[in-house]
A = this chain, B = another copy of it.
């Protein structure tokens, strides 16, 4: 049987270490450096011939560098005779650009998927993909794991009886439903509503939030604007003035930290799919994806089902 090899890209060295510990193996010896002009220089320092290679690398900011690195590592593996190469992508950037909006844009998510397959990845593993249709941009077997069970498990002990799951926009409605089923809570949805044919819109919440503690959930948080608006809407609608937030991918760019600091955040639950930026004052609790990713890798290596890791139930 082929050996299990885990290669850590430079995006998540600590998560990779943790996954390796769960798997009871050492990370493969790989040298990922740069030439003085900034070109990547990658060398795999041990034989991986015929091995079952997993490359763990989030396509997280700086997203283009992490993507290129992901591509070069596969090329090195393929040319070194690797048996099977799997991309384990805790966070997959560009997945939101899954359609053209204005008509003369790239569909970046498709291009990224094509490039990942071009270089030889034969399987993809990722977590809470923003646009599920991106799975169809790949033709190889693609497993979308979910951090919802992990995050919901972390939230549960802290929940008052009268909480309510909040989807901060229509796109988060299905994710909110998964949390609701796991936590036994109702759901409310915040959404922009057109009041007339003009550009007059209002943020509204549907569902009963009065006096309830809002648990705002989303797949990711970038500038924090969506979550801030949702929080202000539910608070204005009479929700309990303390918020729990749970997001899988805490990108937290721009003024995200400041925005969160301006809200009565009681807990912010995130995973380690991307590293947390410094300077955040909210009480963050990081739930590691390591056991989830390790389980997925172990089963893919042993050719066993991943169905229960997709978090559907």
Residues of A bordering B, CB below 8 Å: 2, 35-45, 47-51, 61-65, 67-68, 71-76, 78-81, 83, 93-94, 96-100, 102-111, 114-115, 118-119, 123, 131-137, 139-142, 165, 170, 173, 177, 180-189, 191, 193-198, 204, 206-207, 222-223, 251, 253-254, 299-300, 303-307, 310, 312
Please measure, in the bound complex, the distance between the C-alpha atom of A297 and the C-alpha atom of B306, giving whole angstroms. 27
Q: List 19 A-B contacts (CB under 8 A).
A: A37-B251, A40-B108, A42-B105, A43-B104, A64-B67, A67-B68, A71-B115, A73-B106, A74-B106, A76-B104, A76-B106, A78-B139, A79-B104, A118-B118, A165-B194, A173-B191, A180-B194, A185-B196, A206-B206
- B100–A135 contact, CB under 8 A? yes
Copies held by the complex: 6
- A204–B207 contact, CB under 8 A? yes
Residues of B within 8 A of A41 (CB): 97, 105
Please measure, in the bound complex, the distance between the C-alpha atom of A188 and the C-alpha atom of B304, giving whole angstroms. 46
Residues of B within 8 A of A48 (CB): 104
Which of A73, A100, A186 counts the most B-chain CB atoms under 10 A from its CB?
A100
Please measure, in the bound complex, the distance between the C-alpha atom of A136 and the C-alpha atom of B118, giving whole angstroms. 15
Residues of B within 8 A of A119 (CB): 111
Q: What's the minimum C-beta distance from A231 to chain B, rounded to whole angstroms?
A: 18
- B197–A182 contact, CB under 8 A? yes
Other A-B pairs, 15, CB within 8 Å; known A79-B141, A81-B123: A37-B93, A47-B104, A75-B106, A76-B104, A76-B105, A79-B107, A80-B104, A80-B141, A131-B133, A133-B133, A136-B136, A180-B197, A185-B197, A186-B195, A188-B193
Please measure, in the bound complex, the distance between the C-alpha atom of A94 and the C-alpha atom of B40, giving whole angstroms. 9
Residues of B within 8 A of A96 (CB): 39
